[in-house]
């Protein structure tokens, strides 16, 4: 496996590639199991380039282990705002998650509803395009509208537009305190409960429903968290209690169970109707995150759930059905294909992963 240790070597590896390449970070976020070409690993590009706690800014090489970043930030009571997922248990992978993999898959956890996705915290990238050119976009400052925003385009592009070599993030202070409010109710009631919470001024940073329990999270300064949790519990008829947000984030509930796992993004209020339709197809195990806007569904192997997704989209996170991504409307698919043609004219970067 090619494992360059500098941007220049990585650029050279891409420029001189004779055939398709499969771009790998830690190999822990399998989307589609197919082998796409000669493996090219970014784990050799590792290390913090710049960390300015006063400026809420971090720059690191793409192969840096996520755990190293999180440990560094927690020493200064800061964090990546978007709560990146760790899908190793769900997907039965064993590698070390890297920052590059987080960006390439736009991996965003429960806090996405308040702090935005990975793409919202991403403020700069350096990457190597399919011709082996080392390019940059964005930078290390959190307000930047200089030129087109290719930073967002790279987030979630699954290595098909370029090999990311360096990443800049804006950060947030870590929460001094966290509290969860739990309400026992049905799936149909849950979405209304979560909508009411998110429509309140209590600044909710997590809203999920799993196994008959709706969980709402508040974070911040200790006094403020206590106040908001109490007020929310009173308003919703719930109780302040413990909830495992990390297990929710990483979909631990499905890790030990047989079957395909789908990740479905819909308008939150559609959640219950979509869940009912999914059950009709035989997908009986369902989790809501993002106030109902993100549905995790466990389905019998080989079943394509996309026939019931009329608005929004579904991605197969574990399983063998193809395509993995929801097919896009024709004009959007044409634009995406044309963009790939510009960023990777030879068609060698993770070819076929995204259509």
Positions in 151-180 near another protein (CB under 8 A)? 151-153, 155-157, 161, 172-174, 176
Footprint of another protein on 28-67 (CB under 8 A)? 52-57
Number of residues in contact with another protein under rule CB under 8 A: 86
User: Of 62, 96, 98, 108, which one interacts with another protein (CB under 8 A)?
Assistant: 108
**From the centroid of its chain, how far is CA 26?**
15
* Nearest distance, CB of residue 321 and another protein, angstroms: 16
Footprint of another protein on 252-271 (CB under 8 A)? 265-269
280 or 331, CB closer to another protein? 331
What does the per-residue mask of binding to another protein show for 281-300, with x meaning CB under 8 A? ---------x--xx------
Footprint of another protein on 78-107 (CB under 8 A)? 78, 106
Name the segment binding another protein (CB under 8 A); options: 39-47, 71-79, 182-190, 250-258.
71-79
Q: Are 312 and 267 in contact (CB under 8 A)?
A: yes
Beta strand pairing status for 163-170 and 122-128?
antiparallel
41 or 102, CB closer to another protein? 102
43 or 286, CB closer to another protein? 286
Tell me how far apart the alpha carbons of residues 347 and 20 are, in angstroms, rounded to a whole number. Answer: 7
| 117 binds another protein, rule: CB under 8 A | yes
* Nearest distance, CB of residue 218 and another protein, angstroms: 11
| 119 binds another protein, rule: CB under 8 A | yes
32 or 293, CB closer to another protein? 293
For 95, phi then psi, to 5°, come to -75, -165
What does the per-residue mask of binding to another protein show for 226-245, with x meaning CB under 8 A? -xx-----------------
The answer for 269, left when phi > 0, alpha when psi is -120 to 50, beta otherwise, is alpha
96 or 262, CB closer to another protein? 262
Residue 246 three-state SS: helix
- How would DSSP label each residue in 290-315? GGGTEEEEEE-TT--GGGG-SSSEEE
Footprint of another protein on 305-344 (CB under 8 A)? 311-313, 315, 325-326, 328-329, 331-333, 335-336, 338-339, 342-343
Cα torsion 128, 133, 138, 139: sign: positive
- How would DSSP label each residue in 151-197? HHHHTT-TTSS-EEEEEEEE-EEPPSEEEEEEEE--HHHHHHHHHHH
| 199 binds another protein, rule: CB under 8 A | yes
300 or 339, CB closer to another protein? 339
Q: Where are the strands (E) in the chain, listed by range?
A: 21-24, 38-41, 48-52, 57-61, 78-79, 122-128, 134-138, 163-170, 172-173, 177-184, 204-210, 213-220, 239-241, 260-265, 285-289, 294-299, 313-318
* Nearest distance, CB of residue 94 and another protein, angstroms: 27
| Residue whose tokens read 């796992």 | 261
């Amino acid at each position: 496996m090619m494992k360059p240790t500098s941007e220049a070597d990585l650029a050279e590896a891409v420029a001189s590639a004779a055939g398709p390449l499969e771009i790998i970070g830690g190999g822990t976020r399998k989307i589609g199991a197919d082998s796409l070409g000669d493996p090219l690993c970014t784990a050799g590009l590792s290390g913090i380039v710049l960390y300015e706690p006063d400026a809420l800014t971090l720059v690191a090489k793409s192969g840096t282990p996520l755990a190293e970043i999180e440990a560094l930030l927690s020493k200064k009571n800061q964090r990546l705002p978007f709560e990146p997922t760790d899908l190793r248990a769900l997907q039965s992978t064993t590698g070390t998650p890297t920052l590059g993999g987080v960006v390439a898959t736009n991996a965003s956890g429960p806090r996405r509803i308040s702090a935005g996705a990975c793409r919202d915290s991403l403020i700069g990238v350096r990457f190597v395009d399919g011709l082996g050119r080392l390019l940059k976009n964005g930078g290390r400052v959190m307000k930047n509208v200089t030129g087109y925003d290719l930073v967002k385009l790279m987030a979630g592009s699954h290595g098909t537009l370029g090999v990311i070599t360096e990443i800049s993030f804006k950060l947030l202070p870590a929460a001094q305190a966290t509290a969860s409010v739990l309400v026992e109710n049905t799936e149909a009631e849950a979405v209304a409960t979560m909508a009411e919470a998110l429509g309140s001024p209590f600044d909710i940073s997590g809203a999920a429903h799993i196994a008959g329990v709706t969980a709402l999270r508040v974070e911040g300064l200790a006094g403020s968290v206590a106040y908001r949790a109490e007020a929310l519990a009173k308003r919703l008829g719930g109780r302040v209690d413990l909830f495992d947000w990390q297990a929710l984030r990483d979909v631990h509930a499905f890790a030990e169970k047989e079957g395909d796992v789908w990740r479905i993004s819909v308008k939150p209020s559609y959640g219950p109707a979509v869940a009912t339709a999914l059950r009709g197809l035989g997908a009986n195990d369902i989790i809501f995150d993002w106030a109902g806007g993100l549905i995790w569904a466990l389905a019998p192997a080989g079943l394509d759930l996309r026939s019931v997704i009329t608005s929004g989209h579904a991605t197969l996170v574990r399983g063998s059905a193809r395509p993995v991504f929801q097919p896009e409307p024709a004009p959007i698919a044409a634009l995406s294909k044309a963009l790939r043609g510009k960023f990777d004219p030879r068609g060698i970067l993770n070819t076929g992963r995204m259509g």
